[in-house]
Each structure stands twice: as C-alpha cells, then as structure tokens.
C-alpha cells in the first residue's frame, strides 16, 4: 500500500468531490514510490529522496516535529488519517521551502547582507522558523518556546530584509502558540484580534505609505480605472460601486484620477455616482465630501453615497440602481476577506454582484496561495511571498528609514500575523492565486474580459519611477505585477 500526496493547489478542486477527504492523501492498492520531503544539500542543490516504504517502516524519526505515524496497520482509521495529515503538512511545506530558501539565498547573494546576516545566517534563520512552525503545528509548546526565544534574538526588526520579515512571522507564531491547546488537548482558541479596526492612526499612516512608496495598490487603481473608463465610453449616466474603498485609503486617490479623466473627455461629461460599501462610514463620508468638491471644481456632477455593511451581510436592495445608468463594481484587495472554508460567504457576495448586472467587475487581489488547508504549507507560501515584498522595500528605502519600518510593522506585519496566527472566521487574509479566482468567478456565472493593456501598464510602471526589479506580465487575460518575477498582485476583469 502506498500513499500519493495531493498537491496543495488541487485541494480546492478535490474538496468539491463527495469522495474527497479535505486534501488528505489517498490510499492506493499497489505498492509504489513515495516522494519524501526535499532536503537542502550543503552544495546548494535541492535533492529529493525516493524510496518505497511499507507502513511498518514509518517511525517517529520520519517526522522530526514530534508528530509520528504508528507502526501498526491496525490503528483506527481516524487516528491513522490524523498522522498522515501531519506527514502531508510536512511534505507540502517542504515543496514551498525550495522556492523560499532559493529566493532568500538569491537576495543575500545580491550583496545587501553581510557577516552574520549572510548566506549561512540566513539559512539558519530559515531552518529555525520552519522548526518553530512545525512545533507550533504539533502543539509542542515547550520546544516552540525555546525556538521562539532564539528567533527573537536573531530576527531583528532593523536587520536584513529577511530578518525583518522573519520578525513578523515570529510575532505570528508567538500569537498562534498562545492560542493553541497543549499537546494532547483538543481544540483551538482564536487569538483576540480586532481585524476590522482600520481606524488606527498607525495603520492609516502605514497604508498611505504603502500606497505612496510601493506600486502594488497604484497598479490596481491604474488597471481598474483604465477598464472603468473603457466601460463608460459614450455613456451619460455612470455608477461605480466600490467594495471597501481600497481598505479605506484616505482621500479616495483612485477616484480623483477617474474624475479628472471623465472631466477631460471631449464629449459632455457624464453624471457620476459612487457608492462606497463598508463599515467605516464616517471615513467614507469625509472622502465623499472631498471627491464632490474636487468634481465641482472640474465641472463634473458627482453623487456620493455610503452603504453601511460588510460584504457578508450585503443585500441586493442596499445598492440603489438608477434606470439607464451603466454600473461597474470595483474590488481592490477586498474579496479575499470573505473567502471561507465553506465558500458560502463569497458565493453570496458574488451572487449579489451578479444580480446588479455590472458592465464590468474589476478584481484586484494578492496573487499567492495563503488559504491552503495545511498550516505549514500556508506558512511557507506566506514566507516566500512576503520575503519578496520585504526585498523590494530593501531595494527602495534605507535600513533605518522610518517609513520602511512603519510599512513593515503596521501594514504587512498585520497581514502576516493574521495568516499565521488565526483560524476560522478570524483569519480574513485568505489570499489565493489568480487561477483559483478564475475558477471561483466562472462558477459564479462571470465571464472573463481579457485585459489588453500590457504595453500601457509597462509604460505606467516606468512613469512612476519604480525601482528596477518590478515586472508586469499578462497571464491568460490578467495582468500580474511582480517583484523579480515573483507574482505579488493580479488584476482581472469580469462581465455577467
């Protein structure tokens, strides 16, 4: 009997089948080879080991984190699956380790680290992080606490780019460790995190700094506005429904640009309506007043309104649609927050959007797999993703620049901690790859609208004087912004 491990990306497809076991490995009848976790060799090469074990050959040593697979084949099936699940976690984590470690080594070889922060120190820090994540996953508080103590000393907030990102993951692991029950107990206590508290001055300032210094949000706004302007061509009454108003970003930067473009059209300027959807009503109204004043100065009529609701409780009647108007829906870094294990919340939101019959739905999301079923795999995917982001910050700003520290600790660290420390409804940073979004949107009845603006997007990237290393590519009709070919943000358009 052999064990074939399901790839992480296949989980969402497999779970739709009534015969699947939520991504657990399938048991086959014949004895075939099993791929063991990848090992990093001293020569710098990644090597796989392949052999054909029997069930009795599995021992405690096969899982160094302390989660062992029993030798006896007479163990009850549920208990057996639990151990196989743990082994699969390690396998999927090892797959992600290859890319993460290679990316870290590549950054360090670039010459921005020295001494203890060099290749050896970087690999040691990676190994400590993985070992700590394994101990936390297995609820081994004693071992995890020892590793966290070492990590606190090595993961410096003002160190190398990887030390800085590691410090954020250490915070997340510490929060998760404080929330799990001891080894042998059952259950998980979600950490007390107020995810919806976006009114914090530090968070607002960090979000503004990310917008001003990083191209990620600006890229989403550029693609969205270009698509919206195309949809509004020749129309006299137009309506934008903005989900979340880009996390409540101050001043409504995205719509300043759209208002200016509409006002400068040679044909008569259309009447514009903007509906903001979210819970930050006071903040949205301040933004609306600013936008209306700006529009009046350009001779454009703007009507701004607010729907006080989170996306999960949104109802079709909440959005007032005027007969004859052209409606578009704008979602920038928002829909991933309603992706849950059951998919019910997201399906409900997409159904409401579909009923509005928008001419275009613009979707901008982080392009990474942070919603997998296995903690260790999710941990390593996030480590790889945010290592690239912190590397880009290292290329843009000096080590002791306060703007850089604020972005890292009050914006990106908040996302990291939510991915690492939270489970269930508290985990809202459920980023997924663009391929998965294609499947979700298609199942909800939406059809893709290919984005044919790669040349314009590259020209825009050059115009904002972004540092060398950012890339924009077209992928199956979507535009993806990346750092040194690592995808960061993906933009796509959809129609009913």
Residues 141 and 30 in one domain: yes
> In which element (H, E) is residue 351 found?
helix 344-356
Q: Which residues contact 467 (CB under 8 A, 6 or more apart)?
A: 392, 395, 396
Tokens of 272: 């514009």
CB–CB of 243/350 below 8 Å? no
Give me the DSSP letters along 189-242.
------TT----HHHHHHHHHHHHH-HHHHHHHHHHHHHHHHHTTT-SEEEEEE
Q: In this structure, is residue 106 part of a structural domain? A: yes
**Helices (DSSP H) in 366-412: which residue ranges?**
375-396, 402-407
Which whole-number Å values give the CA distances from 318 to 305, 314, 325, 353, in the listed order? Answer: 11, 7, 17, 11
Instruction: Answer whether 155's CB lies under 8 Å from 167's CB.
Output: yes
pLDDT, position 269: 83
Is the distance from CB of 304 to CB of 267 less than 8 angstroms? no
Residues 173 and 229 in one domain: no
Domain span including residue 118: 2-179
Q: Other CB atoms closer than 10 Å to residue 144's CB: what's the count?
A: 25
DSSP H stretches of helix in 33-188: 77-107, 119-137, 141-154, 161-179
So what's the pLDDT on residue 182?
Answer: 59
| pLDDT for the residue 91 | 57
Is 437 part of a structural domain of the chain? yes
Same domain, 24 and 101: yes
Q: How far apart are the first and last CA of the chain?
A: 48
Place of tokens 């996302």: 415
- The per-residue pLDDT for 95 is 57
10-residue mean pLDDT series, the chain (496 residues): 37 37 34 35 38 35 40 47 56 56 54 48 90 95 96 95 97 93 54 49 94 97 98 96 94 96 89 96 96 96 96 93 96 94 86 96 97 92 97 96 97 97 93 96 97 97 94 97 96 97
Report the pLDDT value the prediction gives residue 111, as an integer from 0 to 100.
Answer: 41
200 assigned to some structural domain: no
pLDDT the model gives residue 86: 58
Q: Domain check: are 299 and 437 in the same one? A: yes
Can you give the pLDDT at residue 80? 54
User: Could you tell me the two tokens for 47?
Assistant: 């090597």
Domain identity same for 452 and 313: yes
Domain count, the chain: 2
Whether 154 and 220 map to the same domain: the answer is no
Q: State how far the Cα of 446 lies from the Cα of 494, in Å rounded to an integer.
A: 6
- Which of residues 144, 179, 214 is at a domain's end? 179
Of 161, 179, 197, the last residue of a domain is 179
Q: Which CA distances in Å does 158 have to 99, 163, 330, 409?
A: 24, 8, 37, 11
For residues 162 and 255, state if they share a domain: no
| Contact between residue 487 and residue 471 where contact means Cβ atoms under 8 Å apart | no
pLDDT reported for residue 63: 34
Does 141 share its domain with 240? no
Please give the pLDDT value at position 97.
56
DSSP class of 451:
-
Length of the chain: 496
Q: Let me know if residue 318 belongs to a domain.
A: yes
Q: pLDDT digits over 47-92, tens only?
A: 433 333 333 333 333 333 345 434 444 444 445 555 555 555 555 5
Backbone phi, then psi, for 319, in 5-degree steps? -95, 115
Q: Among residues 162, 179, 196, which one ends one of the domains?
A: 179
Residue 122 belongs to some domain of the structure:
yes
Distance CA 188, CA 169 (A): 19
Residues 288 and 351 placed together within one structural domain of the fold: yes
**Between β-strands 271-278 and 237-243, what pairing exists: parallel, antiparallel or unpaired?**
parallel
Residues 228 and 284 in one domain: yes
The answer to whether residues 159 and 221 belong to one domain is no
Give dist(CA 177, CA 441) in Å, integer.
36
Task: Please state, in angstroms and rounded to a whole number, the distance separating the CA atoms of residues 241 and 87.
Answer: 45
Residue-wise pLDDT for 241-251, tens only, equals: 999 999 989 99
The pLDDT score that the predictor gives to residue 65 is: 39
State the CATH number of the domain containing residue 240: 3.40.50.150
Which is it for the CA torsion 48, 52, 58, 61, positive or negative? Answer: negative
Residue 86 lies in a domain: yes
User: Residue 315 falls within a domain, yes or no?
Assistant: yes
Distance CA 8, CA 381 (A): 11
User: Does residue 215 share a domain with residue 170?
Assistant: no
Assess if residue 97 is contained within a domain: yes
């Amino acid at each position: 009997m052999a064990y074939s491990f399901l790839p992480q990306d296949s989980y969402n497809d497999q779970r739709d089948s009534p015969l699947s076991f939520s991504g657990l490995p399938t048991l086959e009848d014949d004895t075939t080879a099993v791929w063991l976790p990848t090992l990093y060799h001293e020569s710098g090469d990644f090597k796989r080991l392949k052999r054909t074990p029997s069930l009795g050959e599995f021992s405690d040593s096969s899982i160094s984190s302390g989660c062992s697979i029993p030798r006896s084949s007479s163990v009850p099936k549920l208990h057996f699956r639990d151990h196989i699940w743990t082994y699969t976690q390690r396998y999927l984590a090892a797959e992600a380790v290859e890319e993460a470690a290679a990316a870290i080594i590549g950054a360090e070889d670039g010459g921005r680290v020295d001494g203890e922060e060099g290749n050896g120190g970087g690999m040691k820090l990676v190994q400590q992080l993985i070992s700590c994540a394994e101990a936390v996953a297995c609820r081994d508080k004693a071992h995890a606490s020892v590793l966290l103590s070492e990590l606190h000393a090595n993961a410096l907030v003002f160190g190398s780019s990887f030390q800085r990102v590691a410090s954020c993951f250490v915070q997340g692991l510490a929060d998760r460790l404080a929330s799990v029950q001891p080894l042998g107990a059952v259950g998980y206590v979600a950490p007390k995190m107020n995810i919806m508290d976006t009114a914090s001055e530090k968070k607002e300032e960090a979000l503004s700094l990310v917008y001003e210094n990083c191209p990620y949000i600006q890229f989403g706004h550029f693609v969205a506005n270009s698509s919206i302007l195309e949809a509004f061509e020749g129309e006299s009454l137009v309506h934008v429904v903005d989900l979340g108003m880009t996390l409540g970003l101050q001043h409504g930067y995205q719509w300043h640009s759209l208002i200016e473009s509409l006002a400068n059209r040679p044909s008569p300027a259309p009447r514009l309506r903007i509906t903001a959807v979210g819970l930050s009503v006071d903040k949205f109204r301040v933004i609306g007043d600013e936008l209306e004043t700006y529009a009046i100065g350009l001779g454009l009529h703007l009507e701004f309104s607010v729907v006080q609701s989170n996306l999960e409780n949104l109802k079709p009647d909440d959005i007032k649609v005027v007969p004859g108007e052209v409606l578009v829906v704008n979602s920038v870094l928002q829909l991933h927050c309603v992706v849950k294990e059951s998919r019910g919340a997201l399906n409900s939101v997409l159904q409401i959007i579909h009923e509005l019959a928008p001419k275009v739905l613009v979707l901008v999301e982080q392009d990474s797999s942070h919603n997998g079923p296995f903690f260790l795999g999710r941990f390593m995917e996030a480590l790889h993703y945010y290592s690239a982001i912190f590397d880009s910050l290292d290329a843009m700003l000096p080590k002791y620049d306060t703007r850089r520290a604020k972005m890292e600790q009050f914006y990106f660290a908040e996302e990291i901690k939510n991915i690492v420390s939270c489970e269930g409804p508290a985990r809202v940073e459920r980023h997924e790859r663009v391929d998965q979004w294609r499947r979700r949107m298609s199942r909800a009845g939406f059809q893709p609208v290919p984005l044919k603006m790669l040349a314009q997007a590259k020209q825009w990237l050059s115009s904002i004087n972004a540092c060398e290393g950012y890339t924009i590519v077209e992928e199956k009709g979507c535009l993806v912004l990346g750092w040194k070919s690592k995808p960061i943000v993906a933009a796509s358009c959809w129609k009913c």
